[in-house]
Structure 1
Amino acid sequence: MEPEAAWLPWDSQALVHWSMEPGNLEMANWTMEPTVWAPGPSMESESTEVFVSCLQTSSVPPTSTGEKLMVDQSSAQQELELDFDNIVIKIHSDPIHMFEKAARDFKDGVDTMRMKIHRYPATIRSLGELYTIPTTVAIGPYHHGRDHLKPAEKVKHVAAYHCIRESGCSIQEIYDTVVSIANDARRLYDSNIVDGISDDDFLPMMFYDACFLVQYMLTCTTSTGGLPQMDPALRSFFDANDDNIYRDIMQLENQLPWRVVEAVMRFRPVPLTEFVASVRGCLQDRKIPDEKPFVLIDGNSYDPPPHLLGLLRYYIVGRSDAKLPSLPETEAISFSVSAMELAEIGITLTANETTTELIHMGVKKKKGHLFAELSLAPLSLDDTRASLLVNMAALELCTTPSFQDADDEASAVCSYLLLLGMMVDREEDVHELRRRRLLQGGGGHTNKAALEFLTSLQGLRLGSRYVRTMEEIESYKVRRWMSTKVHAFVYKNMKTIMTIVSSTAAVVGILGTLKSLKVIH
């Protein structure tokens, strides 16, 4: 009698155990034990077919214990090892379909890489919890449930209440709209985390977190619908915890898909232009005079942001429309140079006085000047801004596999941090950055704290603008080798030269005095 046919998944290598009685072949205690396929030169590619929909055996009985019985099937050839106690069927599946599935999954991951809510890469996680663990509020599932973040969960309910009341719509209408988006948002998170969260927990989490973010964004605006109409109790919470909340919602692992936030904003609009304008210059204390009015770019002109961090990073980095000239090839290039070395060859450090956007960095020669300058956007450094910079750099590392094959904007934060870190080895170097107004403000990080922060980031991947700046420095040294050598000699021997000049001036003065006395005599 033939055993009952059974479906086997194509990707299961299995040992199927059977028991039989003399004269009768019956299936008993069906079990499947995974085995591992290992590639080898003797793989029998013709012996099996991946899509095995059933097991069909012939009724040829064994003649003795341990006798092997070859069973010919319509779609594949299976090898059976039978004895009177057990029959073992070993299925050799063609592994190419497993590779095809892996390739499809990998491509799907690459296609959605820009929109995913990423986990921290090892280089960023090693910097410590100050930059990677929220202190006040959890947004999304990665840090949800931490004990120290639970008090903010009640505030989320309050924020949801005010979003609903101020929208004039029913809770069911708003919630259903969020759910229609949030159902697809699950795939943007790490499956190792969200697979263990039921929809009964995940979907309300998306709703409450989106309402919280919408109400917080309203605190950063003053136009119609912003602060003047906000509930005083809710506003007091946001005001009292403003720095911590801002730092938390700018962390890479503490993000909500932007489409989920937009779903709530359909009912409770936020003056988005005013909000972005209020925070995009957050890296500086001093504002640029006569800066052009901020205009939010039309959503049809660029890809939608993945989340709030991605949205603000886009405007903090900015865009560079100017086409950079090609540089002549050089025999060698150094990927690190100190501030002292720059000063020796006549390149001075300057703060960009026309913009706060990070993308505008590099070496250029000003009209009417003999030497060049390395210009960067200024920075007022404290814990909140340091965390923002780290998390924007982490986003670049996660979403751009190759910096050199992408636009300069894709790695601008990494380039900016590497250039600042390149210039400091001692606290005196940090003081020099302050003197050059690259580091602004008297508060925030001390020279020691700034030094520790900037030097801790030298493990970042080399951004394309960083590489370009190093090439510009090398090109400058090659093109102006004579003047740079003269400048370096003068720079290194300035004290000696000044002493000689002073001594010479004194001698000339004495000789002039003697000469005048002789004439008088």
Structure 2
Amino acid sequence: MADLTGRSMEPPAAAWPPCGFPADWSMEPLWIPGYPADSAMCFQTHVPSSSSGGQLQQVQHAAAIAPNLAIQEEEDEEDNDEEEEEAQYKMEMEIHDPIQVFTEATHEFKVDIDMRDMKIHRYPASIKRLKGSYTAPATVAIGPYHHGKDRLKPAEKVKHVAANHCIMESGRSVQEMYAAVASVAGEARGLYDKDMVAGIGDDDFLPMMFYDACFLVQYMLTCTSGGSEMDPSLRSYFDGNDSDIFHDIMLLENQLPWLVVKTVMEFRPVPLEEFITYLKDGLQDRKLTEKKSPILDDSYEPPHLLGLLRFYIVGRGNTKRNLLPQTESMSFSVSAIELAEIGITLTANKTSELIKMGVKNKRVLFAEISLSPLSLDHARASWLVNMAAFEVCTTPNFQAVDDEESVVSSYLLLFAMLVDREEDVHELRRKRLLQGGGGLTNKEALDFFTSLQGLPLGSSYIRIMEEIENYRVKRRTQTKLHAFVYKNLRIIVTVFSAVGVLAGIFGSLMSLRRRS
């Protein structure tokens, strides 16, 4: 296997055994599943002879090679001198040939850009203004970015247990499974930020990939029927920490390349349709009694678990922007009060797919903005933020791509546009756009949405702004009439009430006059 630069990506010779044993030792189990790769719980299977004859042969062998040691040392010194001269020559070439340095840097930059969709990204600046609870893991580190932090170390022991059960349930050997992960680890390393993995050697990186993938696969199984026969103690841990684990594995910086997860799944399969179905309606408290499993798109290769779930939660559809009449100007923001004034109401649709958003005309004087409803708590808020961060990192120009590429950002910005006060949040609850009573308070929801105003404008958001402006222009007279009625409704009601009272009084007087 080779990377984009043509370099070999075969696992290093030290990839197995992970305990530092010589490569020519027996391939019998050298590592006890469920324990760290550098643990002392290793054992050798090649046992030297304990007889005196065997010891004598070893002594004789040592004596036989002694005369050659001096010659070998001289050859080693010559080799070292040649290596130093070569390194010095390369350094001088770099100093005297800057074009080569620039060319290499340009090539490396292009490779990074070309692999942008598959990278494990760091948080963009527009997201970093949020609280740490939306961006940092609280229970488990997946991948190298948060690996080794003290608060996350207790979960490392659970990873060993998960690896042990994953191996046993697969019915395959630990060597075969570990070697498979090691074979893709070189490619996986290239998907992380180079500065973050520069100081991590293969002796640490390969076991990290293996343990983290086993942990994720075992957790995914708990969300499906495949986890029904899981070890009770491990299942108890996953169930007891479900919300925290789910929060952590949905963080942008806490991802594992999907090719590593997929490699372990080849040994311990996970019913992905069932797993995605379980999580697809996770943004809403209201669940359908009969869930329809999504049809997996074989053409889509996810970069990681967050990208996989985002793909199916966003949904696909015919979202090509309609050509609307040109207007003199257009506002990229409108308040809920302004919408109400011109006769546009807010409506919660019946789908869980975020892409189903837009403006629909209803009768002559009215229209509605339809959005997928949201049950907002800390976990779902974090989930949405990290999917939006993923969009920002992988889509440099939201207006140059289809709506699907920036749907989450558009969805969040529409909510942010509609709220300026806690009363606006309450109005969204009244309209059933925000659902549930056990999530964020009105103040917390307001703080969350207003903190997202640094997100770039998604194409769905811009399309809806265009549709609002087009509605306003095409129905200028009607919208002005509706705005007048909306602003003066109380006065109009009062006047009509007064007119009704006067009419009643006048009618009574006329009746009395006729009788007289």
Q: TM-score range by the shorter chain?
A: 0.7 to 0.9
Q: Name whichever structure is richer in helix by fraction.
A: 2
Hey, what's the Cα distance between the residues in 2 that align with 1:298 and 1:391?
22
Instruction: Tell me the secondary structure at the aligned position of residue 126 of structure 2.
Output: helix
Q: 2:237 maps to what in 1? A: 237
User: Which of 485, 494, 500 is matched with 1:490 structurally?
Assistant: 485
CA contact (8 A) 2:140 2:155 kept: yes
Matched, 1:168 2:171: yes
Indicate how the Cα distance of structure 1 residues 378 and 161 shifts in structure 2: closer, same or farther if over 3 A, else same: same
1:445 is the counterpart of 2:432: no
Q: Distance in 2 between matches of 1:484 and 1:191?
A: 56
Classify the secondary structure of the residue corresponding to 1:229.
coil
Question: How far apart, CA to CA, are the structure 2 residues paired with 1:148 and 1:7?
Answer: 46
Task: Say whether 1:351 aligns with 2:354.
Answer: no
Question: For the structure 1 residues 322 and 411, does the alpha-carbon distance in structure 2 shift closer, same or farther, using more than 3 Å as the test?
Answer: closer
Among 182, 192, 195, the alignment partner of 1:192 is 195
Partners of 1:289 and 1:95 in 2: CA distance: 65
2:295: which partner in 1? 296
Runs of 5+ unmatched residues, structure 2: 1-81
Taking a change above 3 Å as real, the CA distance of residues 202 and 365 of structure 1, as seen in their structure-2 partners, is: same
What is aligned with 1:278?
A: 278
Aligned mates of 1:289, 1:465 — CA distance in 2: 30
Supply the distance in 2 between the matched residues of 1:488 and 1:9 (Cα, whole angstroms).
78
Among 168, 182, 186, the alignment partner of 1:179 is 182
Find the aligned partners of 1:379 and 1:116 in 2 and give their Cα distance. 29
Q: Compute the displacement of 1:134 (Å).
A: 0.3
Correspondent of 1:362 among 358, 361, 376: 358
Alpha-carbon offset, residue 361 of structure 1: 1.1
Give SS of 1:372's match.
strand
Between the aligned partners of 2:325 and 2:397, the Cα distance in structure 1 is 23
- The match for 1:210 is 213
1:33-72 alignment to 2 at 5 Å? none
Q: How does 1:221-236 map to 2 (within 5 A)?
A: 221-222=224-225, 226-236=226-236
Structure 2 partner of 1:80: none
Letter matched to residue 171 of structure 1: V
Render the CA deviation track for 1:354-405: whole Å, top value 9, x for unaligned.
Answer: x111111111113x46411011110000000000011001100111111111
How far 1:256 moved relative to its partner?
Answer: 0.3
**Matches of 1:473 and 1:239 in 2, distance apart?**
46
Taking the aligned partners of 1:151 and 1:104, their CA distance within structure 2 comes to 41
In 2: Cα distance, 1:227 partner to 1:184 partner: 30
Relative distance call for 1:267 and 1:369 in structure 2 (3 A) is: farther
Q: Tell me which residue corresponds to 1:79.
A: none
Pair 9,510 (structure 1): closer, same or farther in 2 beyond 3 Å: farther
Map of 1:77 onto structure 2: none
Q: How much does 1:141 deviate?
A: 0.5
1:107 is matched with 110
Distance of 2:297 and 2:502 partners within structure 1:
71
Opposite residue 297 of structure 1, the aligned amino acid is: L
Q: Secondary structure at the match of 2:370?
A: strand
- What is the CA distance between 1:99 and its match in structure 2? 2.8
- Higher-RCO chain (CA-CA 8 Å, sequence separation at least 6): 2
Q: Which residue identity does 2:204 align to in structure 1?
A: D
Give 1:325 shift.
2.3
Separation in 1 of the partners of 2:330 and 2:100?
Answer: 46
- What corresponds to 1:336 in structure 2? 333
Alpha-carbon distance between aligned partners in 2 of 1:262 and 1:380, rounded to the nearest angstrom: 31
Partner of 1:381: 376
Counterpart code for 1:310: G
Contact 1:11 1:98 (8 Å CA) reproduced:
no
**Contact preservation (8 Å) 2:273, 2:296:** no
Aligned-residue CA RMSD in angstroms?
1.9
Equivalent in 495, 504, 512 of residue 499 of structure 2? 504
SS at match of 1:161: helix
Q: What secondary structure does 1:328 align onto?
A: coil
Deviates further, 395-404 or 122-131:
122-131
Return structure 1 stretches of 4+ with deviation > 4 angstroms: 4-12, 288-291
User: What secondary structure sits across from 1:365 in the alignment?
Assistant: strand
Between Structure 1 and Structure 2, how many residues are aligned?
Answer: 434
2:45 alignment counterpart: none
Please give the secondary structure, in 2, of the residue aligned with 1:96: helix
Distance in 2 between residues matched to 1:361 and 1:184, nearest whole Å? 38
Amino acid at match of 1:158: V
**Structure 1 residues 117 and 10 mapped into 2: Cα distance closer, same or farther (>3 Å)?**
farther
Contact 1:351 1:377 in 2 (8 A): yes
Contact 2:315 2:354 in 1 (8 A): yes
Compare the two structures and name the one with the higher strand fraction. Answer: 1
Q: 1:143 to 1:322 in 2, by over 3 A?
A: closer
Tell me, in whole angstroms, the C-alpha distance in 2 between the residues paired with 1:94 and 1:201. 36
Identity %: 64
- The whole-number CA distance in structure 2 between the counterparts of 1:134 and 1:143 is 8
Q: Which runs of 5+ in 1 are unaligned?
A: 15-49, 52-90
Amino acid at match of 1:244: D
Equivalent residue letter for 2:425: V
CA distance in 1, matches of 2:108, 2:201: 23
- The alignment's TM-score, normalised by the length of structure 1, stands at 0.80
- Tell me if 1:319 matches 2:316: yes
